[in-house]
Amino acid sequence: MKTAIVTGGSGGIGSAICRMLAENNYFVYVNYSSSKEKAIKLAEEIHGSAIKFDISDREQVNNAINSIGQVDLLINNAGISEINTFDSVSPEKADRILNINLKGTLNCSRAVIPDMIHRKSGVIINISSIWGQCGASCEVDYSASKAGVIGFTKALAKELAPSGIRINCIAPGFIMTDMNSNFSESDLQLIKNDIPLGIFGTPQDIANAVMFFASEKSSFITGQILGVNGGMNI
Ligand code: NAP
């Protein structure tokens, strides 16, 4: 049985990814930083294990990943967002967005890579965002962090391809989760009007793309960014 870690595994998209991986015979570590009950409940449901660490804290990440041992698949999914004008975001919040979304992705990848290189095998899948590709007004720090995840994916994919490690990235469009729970009905309708397929995405849509990148069906694919966005960015 292969072992996967899903950061932010208790969240909307993360929990769909965890369930999908478990259905496909992975032992899944459901990472959380504060949602302990949700993570434990999900881990019980999928016969995995909940594991607490803050991805922005390198020491916590290293200790947690060392305690797991071999990791075959890392899904860098945890992230936070903030909707506000650029100059209204507090310096603390701006640092937190970059430290979690970008540095957290780097921290977790750094921790799993030495063993993957040693074994010449492993897969990393990063969850960026459509806003990392296009930029979003009033989500400037978030867009910058997610664009960083795209650059990171491409560079690390080149560096680690000779070691047999594949790194790909998914850029979700608008997916109905808690992250988007603050939008009003009228805002939601306006957003929907910008989606050519005319529907919002679901966490399952992202889990399906993750499963493709995790599987041997994508064995000749690395360093790619897959938009899962209903045609919102073409
Ligand atoms: P969500 O439901 O709010 O889940 C976010 C997850 O991140 C939570 O499980 C949270 O766990 C975890 N997290 C936050 N800070 C953390 C930290 N320091 N260490 C470890 N875990 C941390 O959001 P979501 O919609 O599922 O988003 C998942 C990913 O998809 C994010 O990277 C997001 O940027 C990306 N994305 C989402 C959308 C969308 O429309 N929903 C679109 C594009 C991209 P705790 O509660 O335990 O902190």
Q: List the domains of the chain with CATH numbers.
A: 2-227 (3.40.50.720)
Give the type of residue at 213.
F
Q: Measure 6 CA to ligand 1 centroid, in angstroms.
A: 11
Q: Which segments of the chain have a pLDDT < 50?
A: none
Give the type of residue at 147.
A
Maximum C-alpha span of the chain: 52
Ligand 1: residue of 19, 30, 33, 131 to mutate (most ligand atoms within 8 A of CB) is 33
Ligand 1: residue of 32, 178, 200, 225 to mutate (most ligand atoms within 8 A of CB) is 32
**What pLDDT, on a 0 to 100 scale, did the predictor assign at position 97?**
98
Between the two ends of the chain, the Cα-to-Cα distance in Å is 37
**What pLDDT, on a 0 to 100 scale, did the predictor assign at position 55?**
99
Residues with active-site annotation: 142
Take residue 86 and report the two structure tokens written for it: 């650029």
**What pLDDT, on a 0 to 100 scale, did the predictor assign at position 98?**
98
Which residues does 51 contact at the CB level (< 8 Å), separation at least 6? 5, 29, 30, 31, 32, 39, 64, 67, 68
**What pLDDT, on a 0 to 100 scale, did the predictor assign at position 63?**
98
- Rg, Å, the chain Cα set: 17
User: Could you tell me the pTM of the whole model?
Assistant: 0.98
Other residues' Cβ atoms within 10 Å of the Cβ of residue 83 = 13
**What pLDDT, on a 0 to 100 scale, did the predictor assign at position 35?**
98
